[in-house]
Amino acid sequence: MTGGLYSPLHLRSGTVLGNRIAKAAMEENMAGEGQLPDHRLLELYRRWSAGGAGLLITGNVMVHAEALTGPAGVVLDEAAPLEPFAAWAQEASSGGAAVWMQINHPGRQVQANMPGVAWGPSAVGVDLGRLSKNFGRPVAMTPEQIGDTVERFAVTASRAEQAGFDGVEIHAAHGYLLSQFLSPLVNQRTDAWGGSLENRARMLLDVVRAVRTAVAPSFAVAVKLNSADFQRGGFDVDDARRVIAMLEPLGVDLVELSGGSYESPAMTGRSADERTQAREAYFLDLARDMVETSPLPLMLTGGITRRATADRVLANGVDLIGMGTSLAVTPDLPLRWRDRREADRSMRPVTWSNKALASAASMALVRHQMRRLSRGRSPRPGTHPAYALLSEQLRQRRALRRYRAWLLTSRGAATANRPARSRHRVSRTS
């Protein structure tokens, strides 16, 4: 056993987490004006910080202003003011938690109606059957665009450190850009970034090197990695084990294990592997295999809601347990567990047969709870998923109008002055 749930965790950068409970990243979709954090994110993270977790990891912060997972995404690039991020870090750490910023690029997983770019390792679109038209048609990145994106990750990490965050988590899971490069299904390149796993991992490793160089040795650097993509012929547990070994010499503090993508949303408990739908700790079976060989501490995220499950995960050699949905419903759950109490409510299950719609509704339900917390209210986990999804869609439409106007007015001049390779536009499906 790695240590009790409330024992500290010492990481190689010198970071010490007060306990083994982490608030895992959940995409809040709460950016204010200028794609910046505002009072809502500050209040949300203040409440989580008071809840007793040893680590808070933000929802993904985008490294490229023209590539967002959604129109209400937060952007931290070279042009963003640091003051709102400093206020976010201060509130999130107010209860004593360490605070890491998850940094991300969506690659091909962008909505078709979004302005900007849809890039991928290859021109392979998201395959969701009739719902595929909802995503942009990606173009294969040039070597120059790959290099520019590596630099963007480093810039965002450096600025996160300047703002007062304790670390960053590089998102290489859930089918986003770095995960796309790792996938043999999505990455069909024949150059230095395609083919062998060593080549497919090249961009992730370059990002880690660039980030580690850009920040202080005491600043934590973590990676979120799929234990598997849950797609036949995709990135699997053996690939994950080998990538972790590649990360170890680069100064990585921790690897968070998750799984799935938009095409196979295992991270919401609805993967192609039906066994994950009926129990907690979705990825524990895979993580248990990795613990024996991993040279780095592992964090496991996915469906943990009860202390007994958290204790079981730690007993299997995992160093840190990550929770998302359960903390959106019960933000003080770590304190409750310390007092040997459990949550008194749970999220309403989504039992729709369409996996993609069910995943979207599940995420909308979680964001509905986060919005209530950000307004100082109590969660309402019994909300009907159809209501949450419809409300989410209406908010997204308003956010899309704001994002388009902001991108046009605030970034238009800067975009016009960039080299042509950085302004590459994509065709969109209708």
Measure the CA–CA gap between 76 and 306, rounded to whole angstroms: 35
Which residues, including other chains, have CB under 8 Å from residue 11's CB and lie 6 or more apart? Answer: 17, 220, 253, 254, 297
Residue 112's pLDDT is what? 93
Measure the CA–CA gap between 21 and 322, rounded to whole angstroms: 6
pTM (global) more than 0.85: yes
Interhelix angle 83-92/39-49, rounded to 10 degrees, is 20
Which residues, including other chains, have CB under 8 Å from residue 354's CB and lie 6 or more apart? Answer: none
Helix (H, G, I), strand (E, B) or coil at 183: coil
Q: Are 128 and 262 in contact (CB under 8 A)?
A: yes
C-beta atoms surrounding 395 within 10 Å: 18
DSSP string, 62-91: ES-TT--SSTT-EE-STTS-SHHHHHHHHH
Residue 285's pLDDT is what? 76
Q: How would you write 95-136 as a 3-class SS string?
A: CCCEEEEEEECCCCCCECCCCCCCEECCCCCCCCHHHHHHEC
Q: Considering the domain 9-415 in this protein, what is its CATH number?
A: 3.20.20.70
C-beta atoms surrounding 393 within 10 Å: 11
The encoded tokens of residue 268 equal: 């919401």
Q: Are 409 and 385 in contact (CB under 8 A)?
A: no
CA angle (168 as vertex; 166, 169 as ends), nearest 5: 140
Helix (H, G, I), strand (E, B) or coil at 283: coil
Q: What are the distances in angstroms from CA 369 to CA 270, 366, 381?
A: 20, 5, 7
Q: Are 118 and 136 in contact (CB under 8 A)?
A: yes
pLDDT in tens, the chain (430 residues): 456 999 999 999 999 999 999 999 999 999 999 999 999 999 999 999 999 999 999 999 999 999 999 999 999 999 999 999 999 999 999 999 999 999 999 999 999 999 999 999 999 988 777 878 888 899 999 999 999 999 999 999 999 999 999 999 999 998 999 999 999 999 999 999 999 999 999 999 999 999 999 999 999 999 999 886 555 667 888 999 999 999 999 999 999 998 765 655 444 444 334 443 344 666 677 778 788 899 999 999 888 999 999 999 999 999 999 999 999 999 999 999 999 999 999 999 999 998 878 888 999 999 999 999 999 999 999 999 999 999 999 999 999 999 999 999 886 545 444 443 333 333 333 2
Measure the CA–CA gap between 196 and 185, rounded to whole angstroms: 12
Measured over the CA atoms of residue 141, residue 145, residue 147 and residue 151, the dihedral's sign is negative
Measure the CA–CA gap between 214 and 82, rounded to whole angstroms: 17
- Which of the 8 DSSP states describes residue 156? H
> Which H/E stretch holds residue 169?
strand 167-172
